[in-house]
Every structure is written in structure tokens, then in C-alpha cells.
């Protein structure tokens, strides 16, 4: 008995010692991943191989997620952190929630991002983790800014500022000031934004954080540019260049030279712009910064058009297309090569497993025969049975490999959908935003000289903003293979909230009693069709019916789903009215849903009813 006790004591000591080594490897990985991510991954792989306890696995997997998020591999990062969600360790759990929220934010899955951020926030609040609480509040603020819900964003930025101020965490205060300023700038509160950007700059200067100083100066310069103060904007941008050169961030140097060039181009000072375009092109080419190389080529096009040298403008346009195609081809070839190598490797592994299974089965027969002859029928049967189980296990492993390959292929398709949606957001979205900015600048330059032109420009700007909203809705649907009841309700609620903000004289009401536990998720097409029918009906009530009260309801009635949009507008004669794109679109979408559509309209208002079959789980 005494020896047994000693054995368990030694075993416990060894396990604690092993767990301590795993913890140390994890700590070292987190300390170095920003400077040497490859070293961090090596440390985490060693930690995973030495993990004996559940908590060791959970800690290491979540830290893998943190490192891969830093490397911008957001899908892989999510997979690792999701493995840690069953942990009972609140520190690991809250960190995993926060990391998944950050990954979703980068992937444009804003509703999912907020859901996980709020879970992390709840844990940090219960445990009085002031710094972590403030950090997550700041992150939520950035998500709301991306969703253009700027008041909500500023609300969370202020919460972060209060927490950081309480613990005197200056870097956190600076970042919160910066994010508050960004939200304010998007609301056209430029003086307020400039005040908060300057507060952030003062803190970064007191911390002597060169990177932070550069970012704050760049933001200050941007505000002066939008305020039309060219001299102060240039002064800030030139300081940014000095700092970026000091910290050897030559990609930042190229970007800032492009910013200065664009300022001069916008203010019709082409002779000043060209030397900065040349500098941007030099640094972008030398240090292979593809994004800034494209921007500098675009600036060359704008410069030559401004001096009416269309031959050179055409030359730079051709070079822009060539460089852009080269970048896209290089990225696509890398993805295809990685996919092909992965497929061939997995195929070879499956072939080896099958071959091993066949060899093992042959050996079993020989061993079984020899055993039957030498030992006994019983011993031979025992060996044969054992090997048969081994063969079945190898076959199951092969089946598992096939299943994993199928899942990997599906994930690859989803990643490609996400890539397309990101390209739409980054390219088309940014171009539409540029159009709005250009129209606003044109309106500012024209003043009130020609009211008809001003009215026409306002209509174009409004149409472009509506196009951006439509584009974001499309990207939202593309990012999801299926749309849950919660997703649909959240999207409709956000649409109604934005309508309330835009139309203060109109009363909106949204009612839903759907039980998400009883319903299957909608396909992305069906969910989008329901959302578009509601959106189009509300827009018709506002634009054509002049309604002062609009109600949207989604109800479960007799095992059916009934969607109704009711308004108190002027109505229309359904038999006489010419069906435009709006009504045709509603009827087409209802047909795709296999639903029954009914429209009732008179001088007291309009009701659009969509009757759908309930999809039970």
C-alpha cells in the first residue's frame, strides 16, 4: 500500500511538472508572436504535443487562434478558438470569445462579431477585469462604426475611455479617443473628431509610441483635408513621413506620399502633386507594396488627365491594369497551388492507408495459420480477430480522411465566397464611397450657383448611398450558407432602426413572435427574398404612399409563417396601377419562396401579406 501511495504522488508530480512546461511554452509563444510568428507556432506545436490535461489543450488551441488571427488567417483562427469554448477556465473562455469576435469583425460578419464580444464582455465584467473590459468595449465600438451605427459606436467608445481612465491605461485611452473621433468624422462632426484625434496624438507623444504618433498625425491630416485647410493637412502628412522613415515603415511612407499627392490633385495644384506621386511610386516599387503601387499609378492617371496629357494617362491606365492583373493572378495561383498540394498529399495518405490495410490483412492470415499450427485453434482465432479489428480501424480512418477532405473542400468554397464578398466590399464599396466623396466635394466647390445641378448631384449622391446599402445586404447574404431566424430578425430590426433615424416624422413598429428553436434556418436565397420583400414594401410606403405609420410583423399562424407590412398611406388602385420594377420584384421573390402573396390597398392604406409554409426542425 505504501508503494502505491508513493507511485500516485510521483505521477501527480510528473503531471503538474508537464502542465507547467506547457504553460511556459504558451507564455513564450504569446510573448514573441508579434515579432516572430513562425517561432510562436513552433512553441505552440510543442506545447500541444506535451499536453496531457484538457485545460492544456484548451489554452494551447486558443493561443493558436490568437497567432493565426495576427497572420490574417481568420477562418483558421476561429477553428482553433472554437475548440476552447467547452473550457471551465473563465480566462481562456473570455479570451476565446474575444478572439472569435475579432475574427468575425475582420470577415465582415458584424452581428456574429458583436454576439461573441458581448459574451466576453459579460465575463470580464463579472471578474472586474477593467483593462480587458475596456478593450472589448472599444472593439464593439469599431464594429458598430463598420455597421454605420455611429451613436452606438461612440457609446461603447466612451465606456472604454471610462474604464481605461480608471486604471490609468494611457494606450487604451488613446485608442478609444481615436475610434470615437472616427465615428464622429463619419457623422460630419469634423471639429469634434479633430479634438479627439489631437487628444490621442498627445498621449502617443507622451508614450513615445512612434507607430501611434504616425497613425494619429495621419488622422489629424485627414480631418484638416476634409475641412479644406490644405496647409495644415500637408504639415501633418509631412510629419507622418518623418516618423515612418524613422521606424523604417516604408510601406507607410509610400501611402502618405500618395495621400499628399491626392490632396494637391483635389485642390487643382497638379505641379505640386507630381513630385509626391513620383516618391510614392519609388517607395511602393522598391519595397513591393502592391496596394500603394496601384494607388500611385491611379494618381499618375489623374495627374495626366488634369494637364490634358491623355496619351500618358492611357499609358498609366494600361500599366495599372497590368499590375492589378498580375497581383490577382499571383494570389490565385498561390491558392490553387496550395489546394492542389493539399489534395495530392491527402490522396497519397489514403492510398498508403489502403496499402497498409492490405499488407496487414495478408500478414494476419500468415500469422494466423502459423499460430493455428503451433499454438492452438484458440490462440490463432484470437490473433485473427485482433488483426481484423485493426483492419476495420484502418478502414474507418480512411473513411474519416475522406470525410475530412469533403469538409475541407466545402470550407474552401466558403472561403472563396468570402473572398468574393470581401472583393465586392473593398473594391466596389470603396469606389462608390469615392463617388459620394467626389460629389460632395463638387457640390462644395459649386456652392449654390446652380440649384438644378445641386439638386441633381444630391439625387446621384442619395442613389449611390442606397446602392452601398444594397451592396452590403448582398454581401451579408453571400457570407452565409444559411440565414437563421435570429439573423433575419436582426437584419430587419437594423433596417427599421435606420429608417427611424432617417425619417423622424414616420412611426415604425416591428413585431416578431417566431420561435427559433422550432424553425430550420432559411437558405441564403430565401432569407434574402423575405428581407427584400419587406424592404421594398416599406420603401414603397415611404416614397409613394406618404405613410406616417408603418408596421412590419412576422407571426406564426396555424403552422404557417405570415409576413405583413401595413401602412396608413394614400394607397393605390391595384388593377389600374402600372406594375413597375418594385411590384414585379416583390411578386417574383414571393414566387421563388413558393409563398402566397396578397396586396390590399385603398385610400386608408396598404397591406402586403406573404404566407409561407413553416419549416420545422
Instruction: For residue range 371-416, list pLDDT tens digits in order.
Output: 777 777 787 677 778 888 888 888 888 888 777 777 776 666 656 6
- Residues 205 and 213: beta-carbon distance below 8 Å: yes
pLDDT at 436: 67
- pLDDT tens-digit map of 182-194: 999 998 899 998 9
Q: How far is residue 42's CA from residue 566's CA, in Å, rounded to a whole number?
A: 61
C-alpha dist (Å) from residue 493 to 286, 496, 564: 49, 5, 15
Which segments of 33-146 does DSSP mark as H helices, in order? 37-49, 54-70, 74-82, 90-106, 110-126, 130-146
Q: How far is residue 260's CA from residue 280's CA, in Å, rounded to a whole number?
A: 10
Q: How far is residue 3's CA from residue 5's CA, in Å, rounded to a whole number?
A: 5
Residues 6+ apart with CB under 8 A from 3: none
Q: How far is residue 522's CA from residue 512's CA, in Å, rounded to a whole number?
A: 16
pLDDT at 162: 92
- Residues 172 and 203: beta-carbon distance below 8 Å: no
CA angle 483, 486, 489 (to 5 degrees): 95
- pLDDT tens-digit map of 284-307: 888 777 778 888 888 888 888 888
Question: How many CA atoms within 13 Å lie on the side-chain side of 473?
Answer: 20
452 versus 188: the higher-pLDDT residue is 188
- Residues 613 and 594: beta-carbon distance below 8 Å: yes
Rg of the Cα atoms in the chain: 31
Banded model confidence at residue 2, pLDDT cuts 50, 70, 90: very low
Question: How many CA atoms within 13 Å lie on the side-chain side of 234?
Answer: 14
Beta pairing partners, 63 = none
Determine the average pLDDT of the residues in 201-218.
87
Closest CA to 500 of 545, 458, 540, 538: 538
**C-alpha cell belonging to residue 173:** 485611452
Beta strands at 596-602 and 605-613: parallel, antiparallel or unpaired: antiparallel
- Residues 550 and 511: beta-carbon distance below 8 Å: no
582 versus 426: the higher-pLDDT residue is 582
Residue 332 confidence (pLDDT) above 60: no
Banded model confidence at residue 337, pLDDT cuts 50, 70, 90: very low
Residue 180 confidence (pLDDT) above 90: yes
Contacts for 396-401: CB closer than 8 Å, 24+ residues apart: 397/353, 398/350, 398/353, 398/354, 398/357, 401/346, 401/349, 401/350, 401/353
Determine the average pLDDT of the residues in 164-174.
91
Residue 453 confidence (pLDDT) above 80: no
Q: What residue ranges in 408-480 does DSSP mark as E strands?
A: none
C-alpha dist (Å) from residue 79 to 187, 477, 498: 36, 22, 33
418 versus 376: the higher-pLDDT residue is 376
What's the pTM value of the predicted model, to 2 decimals? Answer: 0.47
Lowest pLDDT segment from 168-172, 270-274, 464-468, 486-490: 464-468
Closest CA to 226 of 459, 411, 437: 437
Q: How far is residue 142's CA from residue 135's CA, in Å, rounded to a whole number?
A: 11
- pLDDT tens-digit map of 217-261: 889 888 988 888 888 888 888 888 888 888 777 777 888 888 888
Q: Domains in the chain, please, with CATH?
A: 342-479 (no CATH), 483-613 (3.30.565.10)
- Residues 158 and 192: beta-carbon distance below 8 Å: no
Amino acid at each position: 500500500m505504501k508503494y502505491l501511495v508513493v507511485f500516485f504522488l510521483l505521477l501527480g508530480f510528473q503531471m503538474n511538472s508537464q502542465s507547467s512546461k506547457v504553460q511556459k511554452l504558451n507564455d513564450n509563444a504569446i510573448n514573441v508572436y508579434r515579432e516572430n510568428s513562425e517561432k510562436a507556432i513552433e512553441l505552440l506545436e510543442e506545447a500541444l504535443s506535451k499536453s496531457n490535461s484538457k485545460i492544456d489543450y484548451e489554452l494551447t488551441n486558443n493561443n493558436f487562434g490568437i497567432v493565426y488571427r495576427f497572420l490574417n488567417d481568420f477562418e483558421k483562427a476561429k477553428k482553433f478558438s472554437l475548440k476552447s469554448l467547452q473550457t471551465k477556465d473563465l480566462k481562456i473562455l473570455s479570451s476565446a470569445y474575444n478572439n472569435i469576435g475579432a475574427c468575425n469583425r475582420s470577415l465582415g460578419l458584424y452581428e456574429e462579431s458583436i454576439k461573441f464580444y458581448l459574451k466576453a464582455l459579460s465575463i470580464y465584467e463579472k471578474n472586474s477585469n477593467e483593462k480587458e473590459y475596456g478593450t472589448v468595449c472599444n472593439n464593439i465600438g469599431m464594429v458598430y462604426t463598420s455597421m454605420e451605427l455611429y451613436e452606438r459606436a461612440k457609446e461603447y467608445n466612451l465606456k472604454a475611455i471610462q474604464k481605461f481612465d480608471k486604471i490609468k491605461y494611457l494606450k487604451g485611452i488613446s485608442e478609444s479617443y481615436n475610434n470615437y473621433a472616427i465615428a464622429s468624422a463619419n457623422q460630419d462632426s469634423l471639429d469634434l473628431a479633430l479634438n479627439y484625434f489631437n487628444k490621442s496624438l498627445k498621449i502617443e507623444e507622451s508614450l513615445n509610441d512612434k507607430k501611434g504618433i504616425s497613425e494619429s498625425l495621419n488622422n489629424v491630416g485627414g480631418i484638416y483635408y476634409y475641412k479644406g485647410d490644405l496647409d495644415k493637412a500637408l504639415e501633418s502628412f509631412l510629419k507622418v513621413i518623418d516618423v515612418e522613415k524613422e521606424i523604417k515603415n516604408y510601406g507607410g511612407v509610400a501611402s502618405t506620399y500618395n495621400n499628399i499627392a491626392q490632396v494637391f490633385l483635389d485642390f487643382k495644384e497638379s505641379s505640386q502633386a507630381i513630385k509626391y506621386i513620383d516618391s510614392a511610386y519609388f517607395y511602393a516599387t522598391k519595397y513591393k507594396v502592391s496596394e500603394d503601387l496601384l494607388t500611385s499609378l491611379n494618381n499618375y492617371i489623374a495627374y495626366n488627365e488634369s494637364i490634358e496629357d491623355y496619351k500618358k494617362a492611357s499609358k498609366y491606365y494600361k500599366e495599372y491594369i497590368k499590375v492589378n492583373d498580375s497581383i490577382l493572378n499571383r494570389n490565385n495561383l498561390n491558392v490553387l497551388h496550395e489546394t492542389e498540394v493539399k489534395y495530392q498529399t491527402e490522396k497519397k495518405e489514403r492510398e498508403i492507408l489502403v496499402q497498409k490495410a492490405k499488407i496487414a490483412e495478408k500478414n494476419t492470415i500468415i500469422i494466423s495459420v502459423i499460430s493455428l499450427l503451433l499454438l492452438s485453434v484458440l490462440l490463432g482465432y484470437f490473433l485473427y480477430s485482433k488483426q481484423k479489428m485493426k483492419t476495420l480501424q484502418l478502414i474507418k480512418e480512411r473513411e474519416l480522411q475522406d470525410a475530412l477532405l469533403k469538409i475541407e473542400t466545402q470550407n474552401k468554397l466558403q472561403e472563396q465566397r468570402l473572398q468574393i464578398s470581401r472583393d465586392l466590399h473593398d473594391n466596389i464599396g470603396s469606389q462608390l464611397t469615392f463617388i459620394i466623396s467626389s460629389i460632395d466635394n463638387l457640390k462644395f466647390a459649386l456652392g449654390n450657383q446652380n440649384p438644378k445641378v445641386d439638386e441633381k448631384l444630391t439625387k446621384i449622391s442619395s442613389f449611390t448611398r442606397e446602392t452601398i446599402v444594397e451592396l452590403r445586404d448582398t454581401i451579408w447574404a453571400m457570407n452565409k450558407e444559411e440565414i437563421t431566424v435570429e439573423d433575419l430578425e436582426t437584419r430587419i430590426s437594423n433596417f427599421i432602426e435606420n429608417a427611424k433615424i432617417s425619417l423622424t416624422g414616420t412611426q415604425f413598429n416591428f413585431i416578431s413572435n417566431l420561435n427559433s428553436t422550432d424553425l430550420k434556418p432559411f437558405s441564403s436565397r430565401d432569407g434574402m427574398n423575405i428581407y427584400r420583400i419587406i424592404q421594398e414594401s416599406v420603401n414603397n410606403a415611404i416614397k409613394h404612399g406618404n405613410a406616417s405609420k408603418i408596421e412590419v410583423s412576422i407571426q406564426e399562424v396555424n403552422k404557417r409563417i405570415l409576413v405583413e407590412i401595413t401602412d396608413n398611406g394614400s394607397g393605390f388602385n391595384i388593377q389600374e396601377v402600372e406594375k413597375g420594377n418594385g411590384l414585379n420584384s416583390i411578386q417574383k421573390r414571393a414566387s421563388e419562396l413558393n409563398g402566397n402573396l396578397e396586396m390590399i390597398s385603398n385610400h386608408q392604406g396598404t397591406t402586403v401579406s406573404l404566407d409561407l409554409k413553416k419549416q420545422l426542425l
